[in-house]
Amino acid sequence: MAKDMITERSVDYSAWYNGIVKHAGLAENSPVKGCMIIKPYGFAIWEKMRDQLDKMFKETGHVNAYFPMFIPKSFLSKEAKHVEGFAKECAVVTHHRLMNDPNGDGVVVDPTAKLEEELIVRPTSETIIWNTYKDWIQSYRDLPLLINQWANVVRWELKTRAFLRTTEFLWQEGHTAHSKQQEAIDETTMILDLYAKFAEEWMAMPVVKGVKTANERFAGADDTYTIEALMQDGKALQSGTSHFLGQNFAKAFDVRFLNEGNKEEYVWATSWGVSTRLMGGLIMTHSDDDGLVLPPNLAPIQVVIVPIPKPNEVINEAVDKIIADLKAKGISVKYDMDKKKRPGFKFNEYELKGVPVRIAVGKRDLAENKVEIKRRDTMEVSNASLDGLADHIEQLLADIQTNLLVKAKNFRTELTTEVDDFDTFKDVIANKGGFVSAHWDGTTETELKIKELTKATIRCIPLDAKEEEGKCVFTGKPSNKRVLFAKAY
Amino acid sequence: MAKDMITERSVDYSAWYNGIVKHAGLAENSPVKGCMIIKPYGFAIWEKMRDQLDKMFKETGHVNAYFPMFIPKSFLSKEAKHVEGFAKECAVVTHHRLMNDPNGDGVVVDPTAKLEEELIVRPTSETIIWNTYKDWIQSYRDLPLLINQWANVVRWELKTRAFLRTTEFLWQEGHTAHSKQQEAIDETTMILDLYAKFAEEWMAMPVVKGVKTANERFAGADDTYTIEALMQDGKALQSGTSHFLGQNFAKAFDVRFLNEGNKEEYVWATSWGVSTRLMGGLIMTHSDDDGLVLPPNLAPIQVVIVPIPKPNEVINEAVDKIIADLKAKGISVKYDMDKKKRPGFKFNEYELKGVPVRIAVGKRDLAENKVEIKRRDTMEVSNASLDGLADHIEQLLADIQTNLLVKAKNFRTELTTEVDDFDTFKDVIANKGGFVSAHWDGTTETELKIKELTKATIRCIPLDAKEEEGKCVFTGKPSNKRVLFAKAY
């Protein structure tokens, strides 16, 4: 039973999370500190996310390219805030050769192979890309440049958690260049909408779209937009960010263009990214004490068929027909014919792995022209006729996708509290958790003070926050809209 | 004109190659020594290659995963030949933090952030993967493990060429584990066949399948199988390799399993890879003095439509219909409506980019119910009726795909010479170029001596080499099959 392997959420949420990651076969720690191994099942989910995002980027006019993973150290320094933000977590390449250890076995760094200038393993690629854009952009005819890259990046982390915070992670980073400020701002928010759409329609993970405070902004951005999701333990997860970079990188790398009036201007920039962190969000939005729960749109196996008690000719023939009908609808299906494992064992295994629908096919049921169906999200068991079974399953998968989103939205609604005094604020953050919607006076000082006292940070100023006269929950100073506070991953 | 931008092949093949890479928009050098930037058009071709290969791997039972890009230095030393092969070209990470330069501007490496053990940026992943397989494999039931990874790797190179030899490159690396020796050997050759099929059917690049001599073997392999292609300048290109690793890595990392008889054995291994080097092979197999030539199966744009002389309502309406018909057949098509460029300029641009088919649509032709078609491979121009145009284009694309392969095969046949004496050998290698099929006595000594005298290496012992009594072309010692020599990239 999954329950024997995985700590229950109510006992220890963090141990539960690690249990899901391990026992569903998603990832594991590697011998390299802070770097994870993404196992085949976990990677198959990530591939589905990546392929869908890639399709959405291309549909909105973006193209992919690839830039070097190494960044000359001096590049990083060119944008003052950028280097400040990343210098402390850089993996630095200093040598390019090993040699036999003159004093023993093995190999040591060859001291004669020291690099003239150290190379940084990219923590993000603004610097190397804007250094390149300088050559690619001369006139407004070269704009906009709408480029994305799928890549690995490295940010040295001391405390790591599979998917949520790892030293090396996989992501995509979009880097666009525009001739007009408004066009760059529109790109930033268009991508934010795209991320939110992906999160809701594919991950069934509701998100709040908002803008970050100055204190939480990306290092080098004028504005950072974010999608924030709420995990089951009441903590927020920053799930994707889209940055309006103004002309900061254009100025740092001297990227100018001739506008239509033949005058020279600096180029306007955006950058945006989502990463394997989304896998953590997916796990913590839907999964339960029985294991992973996957929305059908991202499940590598959408339907598993288990013969009861073992495969035989009658069952196989019926299953072949079911498989053909499901595949004709583009539904991915696995038939588990392993004779060494008992049905109950298989049931648990696929529940642990979050397969949305299980069909049990037994001889007795077949004689009655039916099969048994279990949906992973609600664990409901029902019988279904063999007639029109594929249509029924197709509808069931759509229902599960919808149900997961509705459930997550309801959870978020319950865990979003409007608060107007600081005592309640502290109490809600400490005991109930979730998003606290409160007035804030707009200063970094207040923001940091609240963080110090409660560990809650401002997740975002929601884009749809309504104008409302109010007083800062901490200082009592005037405020005209509520912001969202929460403890966060 | 392309001819003004690109050096002709007959003048300077190397300059021609660089010209194609640059002017077709495939890649460019980066400020990081030896690392290239893959530009959007080049990356779109690579994506097509990657997607097709990925499909073929999955169809043959492989799954993708992701392992850390950093390898602890000590891991590399565990397999003696492996470390010998890679130690001299390793990028080494020694520190994990930068700090403000106390003596000036910018940042310097923080000396207090030195790693306990240096990390190597993977030159290939056998060591970290076999260290992991140790935990994943206990019994024969865990086998085979058929895992592939798409990744960037780094091998420090002094002399680099876009795609052909770069410090960082993109590739896939398959790493499989088996319970039986023969099963691992079968996997090795199955993958070799898969690579050859991909090269011929998708790249239209004929390859010779063969096995490497001991001297040219992968560092740590018992046998290396290879596909070798012949470039237009008569030099060979090793285009993909598949290694039977025996039990070498299993022994180095102590990976044992309980076999069906409940006895402990070491696991058998393979690894195999192709890389962005294939892009170089693609360029040098088909392209000409007018630019890139792409096989339709890998062309990001298969058909380009150019309005003559400019788009207008009548033309646009006809083009809309053509586009719809082509898209319905899954053909990718671009309509270049740019009013600022003249048709002749566009013609050259798409020829330079290797678009297989160009359709010119003019009002006068339309009045006669026809369009003008030019195929890139032969540069033939013809007229085609609007009736059944999509069928015609579909057939034309298939013809181009076939023609490119036939042409390349004929070229290779012409440039493959059977030689039985060393004077002729030297003459052919020095003047005619291409593959020289000759007898060899099987010793590394002779192989190296021939290389020293002629710069030709043994590309492979072809798998289909027939048994034949003969004498080594250099030493006169007996030999029973011919091997293929060539100068190589």
- A167 → chain B, closest CA residue: B68
Name chain A contacts of B76, Cβ cutoff 8 Å. 98, 107
User: Residues A28-78: pLDDT tens digits?
Assistant: 999 998 999 999 999 999 999 999 999 999 999 999 999 999 999 999 989
Measure B157 CA to nearest chain A CA, in Å.
Answer: 9
Name chain B contacts of A128, Cβ cutoff 8 Å. 30-32
Pick among B96, B131, B149 to test the A interface (most A CBs inside 10 A): B96
Measure A258 CA to nearest chain B CA, in Å.
Answer: 17
**Position B165 in a domain:** yes
Q: What are phi and psi of B132, to 5 degrees?
A: -80, -40
Please say whether the beta carbons of B73 and B120 come within 8 A.
Answer: yes
Q: What whole-number distance in Å separates Cα of residue B239 and Cα of residue B244?
A: 17
pLDDT for residue B104: 82
Measure A116 CA to nearest chain B CA, in Å.
Answer: 11
Half-sphere exposure in the Cβ direction for B391 (13 Å, CA): 4
Residue A134 lies in domain: 2-94+122-286
**Position A343 in a domain:** yes
Helix axes B389-414, B313-328, angle to 10 degrees: 60
Name chain A contacts of B77, Cβ cutoff 8 Å. 105-107
Name chain B contacts of A105, Cβ cutoff 8 Å. 77
B343 and B259 inside one domain = no
> Comparing C-alpha atoms, which of B160, B91, B159 is closest to residue B122?
B91
Instruction: Kindly state the average pLDDT of the residues A450-469.
Output: 97
**Position A116 in a domain:** no
Which residues have CB under 8 Å from A324's CB, separation 6+? none
The CATH number for A446's domain is 3.30.110.30
**Position B109 in a domain:** no
Q: What whole-number distance in Å separates Cα of residue A436 and Cα of residue B359?
A: 61
**Position B291 in a domain:** no
Instruction: Kindly state the average pLDDT of the residues A411-424.
Output: 98
ipTM for this prediction: 0.97
B96–A66 C-beta distance less than 8 A? no
H or E segment and range at residue B454: helix B444-454
A147–B152 C-beta distance less than 8 A? no
**Position B24 in a domain:** yes
Pick among B82, B107, B127, B334 to test the A interface (most A CBs inside 10 A): B107
B96–A93 C-beta distance less than 8 A? no
pLDDT for residue B3: 59
B241 and B350 inside one domain = no
On the question of pLDDT at A142 being above 80, the answer is yes
A367 and A426 inside one domain = no
pLDDT for residue B441: 97
Split into its structural domains, chain A has a count of: 3
Measure B5 CA to nearest chain A CA, in Å.
Answer: 18
Name chain A contacts of B32, Cβ cutoff 8 Å. 68, 70-72, 119, 128
A33 and A148 inside one domain = yes
Of B31, B65, B118, the CB nearest to A39: B65
B47–A107 C-beta distance less than 8 A? no
Q: What whole-number distance in Å separates Cα of residue A483 and Cα of residue A478?
A: 13
- Given A224, A255, A286, which residue is the final one in a domain? A286
Of B39, B119, B168, the CB nearest to A68: B168
- A106 → chain B, closest CA residue: B77
Token match 């990925």: residue? B54
The CATH number for A345's domain is 3.40.50.800
Of B68, B105, B109, the CB nearest to A35: B68
A218 and A331 inside one domain = no
* Strand ranges inside B27-185, DSSP E: 27-29, 36-38, 63-64, 70-72, 92-95, 98-100, 107-109, 114-121, 145-154, 168-178
Residue B366 tokens read as 């339309």
Interface size between A and B, measured as CB pairs under 8 A: 183
B141 and B200 inside one domain = yes
pLDDT for residue A316: 97
Name chain B contacts of A31, Cβ cutoff 8 Å. 72, 75, 128, 131
What dihedral angle (degrees, nearest 10) is formed by the CA atoms of B115, B117, B122, B127?
A: -150
A262 and A344 inside one domain = no
> Comparing C-alpha atoms, which of A221, A242, A217, A238 is closest to residue A229?
A238
**Position B50 in a domain:** yes
pLDDT for residue A270: 98
Q: What whole-number distance in Å separates Cα of residue A213 and Cα of residue A457?
A: 10
- A69 → chain B, closest CA residue: B168
Q: Please calculate the CA angle B264-B266-B269 and round it to the nearest 5 degrees.
A: 145
* Residues in chain B where the model's pLDDT stays below 50: none
- Given A261, A286, A311, which residue is the final one in a domain? A286
Which residues have CB under 8 Å from B116's CB, separation 6+? none
Which residues have CB under 8 Å from A286's CB, separation 6+? A204, A292, A293, A294, A295, A354, A377, A404, A407, A408
Pick among B76, B90, B163, B176 to test the A interface (most A CBs inside 10 A): B90
Q: What whole-number distance in Å separates Cα of residue A67 and Cα of residue A167?
A: 20
pTM given for the model = 0.97
pLDDT for residue A2: 56
Helix (H, G, I), strand (E, B) or coil at A413: helix
User: What is the overall mean pLDDT for chain A?
Assistant: 97
Q: Which amino acid is at B253?
A: F
Measure B32 CA to nearest chain A CA, in Å.
Answer: 7
- B141 → chain A, closest CA residue: A340
A202 and A73 inside one domain = yes
A306 and A451 inside one domain = no
pLDDT for residue B4: 74
- Given B330, B361, B396, which residue is the final one in a domain? B396
A92–B128 C-beta distance less than 8 A? no
A19 and A160 inside one domain = yes
**Position A267 in a domain:** yes
Name chain A contacts of B151, Cβ cutoff 8 Å. 152
A66–B31 C-beta distance less than 8 A? no
B382 and B325 inside one domain = yes
Share of chain A above pLDDT 70, in %: 99
Q: What whole-number distance in Å separates Cα of residue A355 and Cα of residue A400?
A: 11
Q: Starting at the earlier edge strand, list the strands of the sheet with A268-275.
A: A63-64, A145-154, A168-178, A268-275, A236-246, A223-230, A208-211, A457-462, A482-486, A435-439, A416-418
Measure A208 CA to nearest chain B CA, in Å.
Answer: 31
Q: What whole-number distance in Å separates Cα of residue B251 and Cα of residue B249?
A: 5
Q: What whole-number distance in Å separates Cα of residue A79 and Cα of residue A427?
A: 41
- B106 → chain A, closest CA residue: A77
B93–A91 C-beta distance less than 8 A? yes
A168–B68 C-beta distance less than 8 A? yes
B359 and B475 inside one domain = no
The CATH number for B8's domain is 3.30.930.10
